[in-house]
A and B are shown apart, each in its own frame.
Chain A
Amino acid sequence: MKIESKNKGSSKIPTASIADIVFLLLIFFMSVTVFKEYQGLRVELPAAKATKKIEKKRMITHIWIDAQNHINIDDMMVNLEQVTPILKKKMIENPATIVSIRADSRSKYGVVARLLEKLKDANALRVNFATLTKS
């Protein structure tokens, strides 16, 4: 009798709870994950100390400006004139759109300023200048 009970105790490892724990983690990661929709351009972002996180991840539209002053929205190379109609459409789909401007630190401010004017015309007023965190 004694030997039997000892054997039973050592052979069973409780694995039932592992599934629960992993499920919990899985649900967390599933809810947090936002798939990268677009590749964008290769840019060197400027750094700033006042950098803050954007809370509403799913409302962001990215606009890339590289060092050669090319503008890219959703993996499409666009002219300045095309910016307003594209953004207008996005604003209709989601009026709370936040535009994140991912401009290269070497690009000219003139291009960014012109872009801001186009965003104003499209009524896309919540903008965010993407930066890296400077310590």
Chain B
Amino acid sequence: MALSIQKKQHYRQEAEIPTASLADIVFLLLIFFLVTTSMNPDKGLGMTLPPPGEEVKLTKKNILSVYVNAQGQILVGDKVIPIENLKETVEKRIRENPKLVVSLITDVDAKYSSMIDALDRIKISFEELKKENPQFKERISLATPVF
């Protein structure tokens, strides 16, 4: 009888490894990383600039100039259009000529937000075309203003 009890106790001691505190420590670390992680990632409109000194000559036929003036008005080609129509206009012009490069020419005194607004709409129109043809390349050029 006495022997059997001793055996039982011996078994128990060997089987138990104290892992209860481990969870606490790891929880603490987890909470630290949870708090410090910023879940709002960097977002934005990506562009690739042309290398310096390399000016690509294009025929006028293949350029669509979009002007943004200091008042935030939009001029496509030679017509002033409301900004709501920019996407449709650009999309229509690209459909007519798939080689078209959109050149965004912004006035030095224009507000940054109006430039972003125009760029956003141009990007969306390219994206619509990309949906139809994934090989379609985005061709947007940011013109260097005269300072």
Tell me which residues across on chain A come within 8 A of B6, comparing CB atoms: none
Complex CA distance for A108 and B108, rounded to whole angstroms: 7
Among B21-29, B57-65, B77-85, B92-100, the one that faces the other chain is: B21-29
**Count of interface residues, chain B, beta-carbon cutoff 8 Å:** 47
Residues of A within 8 A of B19 (CB): 15-16, 19
Q: Is the CB of A32 within 8 A of B37?
A: yes
Bound complex: CA A57 to CA B51 (Å)? 23
Assess the B51–A129 pair: CB atoms within 8 A.
no
Instruction: Return chain A residues, CB-CB under 8 Å to B68.
Output: 109
**A98–B117 Cα gap in the complex (Å)?**
22
**Interface-located stretch among A71-79, A89-97, A118-126:** A118-126
Closest-CB distance, B34 to chain A (whole angstroms) = 6
Number of interface residues of A (CB under 8 A): 57
B113 touches A130 (CB 8 A): no
Main secondary structure of the interface of B (DSSP, over half): mixed
Is A41 at the interface (CB under 8 A from chain B)?
A: no
The residues in A between 101 and 135 inclusive whose CB is less than 8 angstroms from any CB of B are 101, 103-110, 112-114, 116-117, 119-121, 123-134
A19 contact set on B, CB distance < 8 A? 19, 22-23, 26
Check B52 for interface membership: any CB of A closer than 8 A.
yes
Q: Is B47 an interface residue (CB 8 A)?
A: yes
Within 8 Å CB of A23, what residues of B?
26
Select A123's contact among B37, B51, B107, beta carbons within 8 Å.
B51
Give bound CA distance, A66 to B34, whole Å: 30
Contact with A along B20-63 (1 / 0, CB 8 A): 10110011011001101110011111111111100000000000
Contact B20 A15 (CB under 8 A): yes
> Which of A18, A112, A126 has a CB less than 8 Å from the CB of B115?
A112
Q: Is the CB of B43 within 8 A of A132?
A: yes
Shortest A135–chain B CB gap in Å is 13
In the bound complex, CA of A131 to CA of B44 (Å): 5
| 23 A–B pairs (Cβ distance < 8 Å), ordered by A | A26-B29, A29-B33, A48-B117, A48-B119, A49-B124, A50-B45, A50-B120, A51-B43, A51-B45, A52-B46, A57-B41, A100-B42, A101-B44, A109-B68, A109-B112, A109-B145, A113-B108, A120-B49, A123-B52, A125-B49, A125-B50, A126-B46, A134-B120
